[in-house]
Amino acid sequence: MTENLFDKKLQQIKADGLHRQMRYLESPQGSHVRIAGEDILMLSSNSYLGLCFDDRLRSAAHAALEQYGTGSGGSRLTTGSYDIHKKLEEEIAAFKGTEAALVFATGYMANVGIISAVAGKNWVIFSDRLSHASIIDGCRLSGAEIVVYEHCNPADLERKTSRYRGRQGLIVTDGLFSVDGDIAPLPALVEIARKHQLLLMVDDAHATGVLGKNGGGTAEHFGLDGGIDIVMGTLSKALASEGGFVAGSHSLMDCLVNSARSFIFSTAPAPATIAVSIAALDIVRKEPAARETLRGHSLWFRKELRTMGFNVEDHPTPIISIVLGRPDVAVDFSKRLMAKKIFVSAIRPPTVPAGTSRLRINIMATHKKEELTRALVAIGDVGRSLGVISS
């Protein structure tokens, strides 16, 4: 009976062209990976700086394993808080220029925990139309009224906030959007938040280590000094580790420690993971060259795609979306690239709105120019054979 239910659900997912399956890596996550015994050029990793097999990070993990062992043994408020959790939180606060910071087990848990702890039933949350799923889930869990504003559109946000004058509220957005690769107009959002006395929260999952001279993220990219009340980010992308974080005031952290359920009721991240995050933050701050290479690669790759006739927007970021429309076309494109030993993910609903299925390319600082050139030739060939660009 239950089997039948699952089969029915699966049949529908398959009929909609939305069935997904996992691919298993047999090597570290780098600009090349091994899958099913084959060497594959990786063009879809969030490890933007290519640090997942970095010697310094692996040594930090080994040393922490020797000193602290494996699991953390409890939640942060019971037995799972270690001196290195405190150290990482102090380092993150210094990095983001805030009073304090707090680490969660994942970025997803951070968003869900922060938003549901901060906003309540009589609040209103203004959320960008393309906010990440974890932001959406946090908004829903909070019980607040949710008002969605047009993507990266401060004029629409201003119109909508004006209608709710006097209500306690929160504006929330990705900093660097995880799928479209564009950047939220933060200076305008700060102004609107100030004018209407709303809190502003920015999810810097993809911008941390990537945007800004020191890798400080979206605020640093715009040269903003303050104005963002809640800076959320992940340690799982450019920082090549795992976990989510929030940076802000001491009182925000104390409030979250005492009310964010995904923080309170979950085991603390393992010490070795925390040690990797500390070492990665140090590299990100001290080594801007990789970030500059990443930016150069990204701008060039976008330009080349546009020259070939692909519909690609112009952003100074390593996330490049080629919107194709139908999910089956995106999947076919991705499969044909995989046949040429190039890994580019097809992104379909529910990750993106219906009718905007696409390829998402993630550039890494460790890609070599000739590898990217090979990828461009392959993408061009497949694009022509599928009629996406003209011959």
Could you list the residues that contact ligand PMP (CB under 6 A)?
Answer: 106-108, 111, 132, 134, 174, 178, 203, 205-206, 234, 236, 244
CB of 347 to ligand PMP, least distance (A): 11
* Cα–Cα nearest to 205, from 240, 180, 173, 232: 232
For 38, how many CA atoms within 13 A lie in the half-sphere containing its CB? 13
CB of 180 to ligand PMP, least distance (A): 11
Q: Measured from the CB atom, is 115 or 124 closer to ligand PMP?
A: 115
Cβ(238)–Cβ(284) below 8 Å: yes
CA–CA gap between residue 192 and residue 173 (Å, rounded): 13
Q: Measured from the CB atom, is 40 or 201 closer to ligand PMP?
A: 201
CB of 108 to ligand PMP, least distance (A): 4
CA–CA gap between residue 263 and residue 75 (Å, rounded): 8
Q: Which residues contact 220 (CB under 8 A, 6 or more apart)?
A: 211, 212, 213, 214
Tell me which of 85, 196, 206, 297 is the catalytic residue: 206
Cβ(274)–Cβ(84) below 8 Å: yes
Q: Measured from the CB atom, is 124 or 205 closer to ligand PMP?
A: 205
Q: Measured from the CB atom, is 334 or 362 closer to ligand PMP?
A: 362
CB of 77 to ligand PMP, least distance (A): 21
H or E segment to which residue 38 belongs:
strand 38-42
Task: Take residue 227 and report the two structure tokens written for it.
Answer: 């104005």
CB of 104 to ligand PMP, least distance (A): 9
Q: Measured from the CB atom, is 347 or 382 closer to ligand PMP?
A: 347
H or E segment to which residue 170 belongs:
strand 169-174
Question: Does the annotation count 237 as an active-site position?
Answer: yes
CB of 133 to ligand PMP, least distance (A): 8
Instruction: Provide the pairing of β-strand 230-234 with 199-203.
Output: parallel
Q: Measured from the CB atom, is 205 or 382 closer to ligand PMP?
A: 205
**Bridge partners, residue 151, by sequence:** none
CB of 287 to ligand PMP, least distance (A): 22
Question: Does the annotation count 131 as an active-site position?
Answer: no
Question: Does the annotation count 206 as an active-site position?
Answer: yes
Task: Take residue 260 and report the two structure tokens written for it.
Answer: 């964010």
Cβ(66)–Cβ(272) below 8 Å: no
Tell me which of 31, 131, 178, 277 is the catalytic residue: 178
CB of 109 to ligand PMP, least distance (A): 7
Tell me which of 237, 297, 315, 367 is the catalytic residue: 237
Q: Measured from the CB atom, is 218 or 357 closer to ligand PMP?
A: 218
Q: Which residues contact 339 (CB under 8 A, 6 or more apart)?
A: none
Task: Take residue 108 and report the two structure tokens written for it.
Answer: 């997803």
For 280-323, the DSSP string reads HHHHHHH-HHHHHHHHHHHHHHHHHHHHHT------SSSEEEEE
Task: Take residue 164 and report the two structure tokens written for it.
Answer: 């709710």
Longest Cα–Cα distance in the chain: 63
CA–CA gap between residue 27 and residue 180 (Å, rounded): 28
Cβ(291)–Cβ(51) below 8 Å: no
Q: Measured from the CB atom, is 199 or 235 closer to ligand PMP?
A: 235
Q: Which residues are catalytic?
A: 178, 206, 237
